[in-house]
Amino acid sequence: MNNIKAEYFSLNKILLLAIGLWPYQQSNFTRFQFILLSNILTTNIIFQVKNLLEQLLHVCNELKDENEIAIINECRYNSKCYTMALTVLAVVSIIAFITASFWSNILDIILSTNASRSHHLLIMTEYFIDQEKYFYFILLHNIASVCIGTIAMLATGTILIMYFQYTTGMFKIASYRIKRAMNVDMLQNIKQKNILIYKGLICAVDIHRQAMRLSQHFISSFEAMMFCLIIVGVVSVSLNLFRIFQVASVTKNVKELITPIIFAIATIVYMFIANYVGQTITNHNQHVFITAYNVRWYFAPLYIQRMILFLLQRNSRNFTLNIGGLFDASIECFATLVKTSVSYFTVIYSTR
């Protein structure tokens, strides 16, 4: 067996040993290596998130106008609502998975007439121990893994939603500042108030640029991870759809449908929310320029009209959250990803 491992998995063994993930011949040093590398990776992500949040908080703390603070408070309330809704969805999914895991085995015990009964796991995993003897330990391990993975997805997803909700508020503030700067009352005495108009537009452009910079900074910090998540999401939906149709057409075992259905729905919801957030950012950025176009800019002095013209020209190219140069976060992108997943599923199902 060792010769077979060395022959077929030699290169993979080297790579897995480098990060402490080789499942055979586990030593104390290997465990220490895995813990050390995991902590390095985790702390790097934490520091990046901390840096992004500090920049965002710095911008929010500089707000003095009551209306601007009200806009940010509204965005904070919306992010809390999203977090609560997704938390409830995650809890319901975990409860459904736990219930299905235990209930399916309880039914097997009740309905089985044989002396020896085989247990079933909703997530098929190979363990290096007697799976019948330690079944409930393995079951608890599976449940714990699902709970940890769900919490990780929930935490990263909600922090993304919260972050972009605040940047959305910054775009709203930019629109508000443009309206306030070009207020009709301020234009009644242009000679005395031109400087206020000029400063108001500068403040609007400044927070608009900060909103775009923070959005792009977030994407650039996690672009590689998000690109991989997109690929994994498409593959996951395709394989889970294939599993659903395979079980429905061959085994017709309802218990085996639970896991792929939960995973497929969770992945699609995750992709939709991420693309919906990106679409929201694009829409609010466009609203800034619509606001600049609709205000009574023609009452302003010529040099301020030129300033607004330069602002409108910036809208000639849409601002989007681009990932890897291939995906622009939007509802259209979500539809494309789902269509691609279904296409891959169709190919796999037709050539099974």
Q: How many CB atoms lie within 10 A of CB 254?
A: 11
pLDDT > 70: percent of the chain: 80
CA atoms of 178 and 290, how far apart (whole Å): 11
Q: Of 313, 104, 128, 325, which is closest to residue 219 (Cα–Cα)?
A: 325
pTM over 0.85: no
Are 169 and 63 spatial neighbours (Cβ–Cβ below 8 Å)?
A: no
Residue-wise pLDDT for 74-129, tens only, equals 999 999 999 999 899 888 888 887 777 776 666 555 555 454 555 566 666 666 66
CA atoms of 59 and 9, how far apart (whole Å): 52
Residue-wise pLDDT for 196-215, tens only, equals 888 888 888 889 989 999 99
Are 79 and 165 spatial neighbours (Cβ–Cβ below 8 Å)?
A: yes
Mean per-residue pLDDT of the chain? 80
CA atoms of 243 and 24, how far apart (whole Å): 30
